Amino acid sequence: MDDPFGWRAKVGVLLPSVNTVAEPWFYRAAPPGVTFHFARMMVGQGSGVEAVKKMMEDSLRAAQEVASIPVDVIAYCCTASTLIMGPDYDKELISKLESETKIPVTTATASLSAAFQALKVRTLSLISPYTQEIEAFEVKYFSECGYEILSAKSMNLGIHELDKPSPDEIYRFAKKGFEQKADCMLISCLNFRSQACIKTLENDIQKPVVTSAQAVLWNVLRMVNVKEPIVGYGKLLDAERI
């Protein structure tokens, strides 16, 4: 039986070169017939804001690579970089990449905002692996987007350490750091092994948990009109996309 790859949709993904988490998880979680095609943006030495900004210079080249396939949608998958640059830059980046590739584009932060709208979230409790410097940018970013930030806890890890915490370490850190009055727990970063504990956290805190990778997957499937639920990774993916 002929089973062509990507018969439902092909998704282009732009990843920081150090990311080890997103690629295998997208394939593990995605429905049949959806394929992912990755281009990596080079992350050099250093662990702070300047290293992230330098990586962003590689975004157009990476987008052109996946556009040559061609793909149906492109996802820019570095949450920290658009947090640092702000909501206006996020819109500019999407516009620039769409103009250059002629393909619909989303980002991690745009996907998170869309997920919050779908879940009717107004208040957030933030959890991340980021340095305190980048976490401060995250608070500023989502505050500027109109969300009330009730708490923010970060592990203070550098860009080359983000994939090191285990799911059980993330679970314990997130549960302890969550502000129960918040509408939602946001766990940022696509290079953070948080997907494995989404459902358990939701069961324990009785609130939705949204992660960067989960929100990107939800959003790109919505953009290519693949609507079936994906069970096991939280309320956002459990429901049929609209």
Task: Delimit the domains of the chain by residue range.
Answer: 9-107+214-233, 111-212
The pLDDT assigned to 237 comes to 96
The pLDDT assigned to 1 comes to 38
The pLDDT assigned to 34 comes to 97
Question: For 164-216, how does the pLDDT look when each residue is reduced to its tens digit (9 = 90+)?
Answer: 999 999 999 999 999 999 999 999 999 999 999 999 999 999 999 999 999 99
pTM over 0.85: yes
Q: Which residues pair with 40 in a beta bridge?
A: 15
Class of domain 9-107+214-233: alpha beta
pLDDT exceeds 50 at position 143? yes
Average pLDDT over residues 36-52: 87
Topology agreement, domain 9-107+214-233 and domain 111-212: yes
End-to-end CA distance of the chain: 32
**Average per-residue pLDDT for the chain:** 95
pLDDT exceeds 70 at position 134? yes
Beta-carbon neighbour count of residue 60 at 10 Å?
16
pLDDT exceeds 80 at position 2? no
The structure tokens listed for 30 are: 């995605």
Question: For 71-117, how does the pLDDT look when each residue is reduced to its tens digit (9 = 90+)?
Answer: 999 999 999 999 999 999 999 999 999 999 999 999 999 999 999 99
Q: Left if phi > 0, otherwise alpha if psi is -120 to 50, otherwise beta: which for 67?
A: alpha
The pLDDT assigned to 47 comes to 62
CA–CA distance, 192 with 213 (Å, rounded to integer): 9
CA–CA distance, 83 with 87 (Å, rounded to integer): 8
Question: For 16-32, how does the pLDDT look when each residue is reduced to its tens digit (9 = 90+)?
Answer: 999 999 999 999 999 99
From the candidate CATH numbers 3.40.50.1100, 3.40.1160.10, 3.40.50.1860, 3.30.70.1140, the one assigned to the domain spanning 111-212: 3.40.50.1860
Average pLDDT over residues 49-72: 94
Average pLDDT over residues 45-67: 89
